[in-house]
Structure 1
């Protein structure tokens, strides 16, 4: 789940200001919106932690907000479809709702729970599981870095330049759709 979530988050984050400028936002507005979105993403883990600890439990919180996040990913991808991008009256509400309400809240709500749910599976009093827990954290952070590496490597080029099979005007759509599909696959697993 973490690899998919980080690939999705960074896949959208890496080209966000350029995409916002492409749909008509000024550089100043795009920068302000990106900063506001990042703030929401890093404040909402408190909300997710509260829900998991006091109301729903970690698994239900992760599943619910993983789906919520995925819906936001698909809305952002739809907003990046070239014919929709050309209509500011349509693209802006879809994009803002997907980005702020879907991804902003979704990523934060699961961020504080994924690593903890995994760590909860180990018995701290069993010596054989202590080493497994240490290994778990290494693999967990490897997954974070793999997701961000793919996003800032391949997806950052795809969104601007396209690829041999994807024309440049579909670059943002393809990038954001990859993010949404990877997240949907992780939830389905």
Structure 2
């Protein structure tokens, strides 16, 4: 009995493929490396993406509507690629190797983006601060870097939170209680990374240079990978369990009720709705820009927003939000509810 208690009972193994030793792997021994990885990765992602529309406009010489459309399409791709990463993690590679392999792609994309914004000959030539004339090759290099980043993040988004959950044995009540604490720290790390990115790095891009503005996120991503690999000996790993596509039709499909081998795929599915929303947003911007700019009118979203009617576009978005609320109220009758535990009397 004592020997049985030495190892996890949820099927996890250590980095050598042996049953995971409870005293040497997982729990809060391993989680700081995952949390540190996530904080730096989110800092890198938001530091690079928050100001991306301005980069499209001021460095790649794109009109406002085109820049917004390209930004939404790229963002949608960042949220659709997790389906690829989740499928590979659950079916073939496992979460550890999926995160590791896609992180390398991520770093390559971040490095290429930083180079495309800083190296002479690769970066767009500018005659003034906001007057740049990039060649097709220079623009193509920037977008190649961005879509490598979109592919790289697709292997991290659906796996890293699930990988943190793997570090706690659900059959052990003591470890199970610590899992919720891990997620609190995990989401705090996301917000810390996003806060630094949206303040410090945006200021660097606006006031120092785009080379440093993209270079610092590339360095942050390299640090994130170092954090992740540093904890290799401490991680618990779930073995790949075959294609989740077959099993998803055999189970009640909720994350809490899905087996451990399907956690990544369950995490990726909600992200697809964000991806579809981003693609629809880019389509909406394109339609509004083209329809309202006919007959020589500047339209709602011209290159110089001072001559357009961006306020009309915001009213349109407000109307869509009201419509969304109406749909939510209409379908709420079909929701099921759970009684709150420990409510005040």
The TM-score, its normalising length taken from structure 2, stands at 0.51
Q: Which has the higher contact order (CA 8 A, sep 6+)?
A: 1
The aligned runs of 1:108-187 (5 Å cut-off) are 108-162=154-208, 171-187=209-225
Equivalent residue runs for 1:9-158 within 5 Å? 9-23=45-59, 24-81=61-118, 83=120, 84-86=123-125, 87-100=134-147, 102-158=148-204
Task: State how far apart, in whole Å, the 1-side matches of 2:202 and 2:119 are.
Answer: 18
In structure 2, the gaps of 5 or more residues are: 1-36, 126-133, 228-345
**What SS does the aligned partner of 1:112 have?**
coil
Between the two proteins, the alignment pairs up a number of residues equal to: 180
Q: Distance in 2 between matches of 1:123 and 1:188?
A: 26
Shifted more, 2-11 versus 33-42: the winner is: 2-11
Q: Which string of whole-angstrom CA distances, capped at 9 and with x for unpartnered residues, describes residues 119-153 of structure 1?
A: 11101121221222111101100110011000101
4+ runs deviating over 6 angstroms = none
Aligned to 1:8: 44
SS at match of 1:56: helix
How many angstroms apart in 2 are the aligned matches of 1:184 and 1:26? 33
Distance across 1 between alignment mates of 2:90 and 2:114: 32
**CA deviation after TM superposition for structure 1 residue 82, in Å:** 6.4
Distance in 1 separating the partners of 2:183 and 2:169: 15
Shift of 1:57: 0.6
Aligned to 1:165: none
Which structure's CA Rg is the greater one?
Answer: 2
In 2, the alpha carbon distance for the partners of 1:80 and 1:180 equals 12
Structure 1 residue ranges without an equivalent (≥5):
163-170
Alignment correspondent of 1:167:
none
Deviations, residues 83-129 of structure 1 (Å, cap 9, x unaligned): 322142442121110001x1111112210000101111101121221
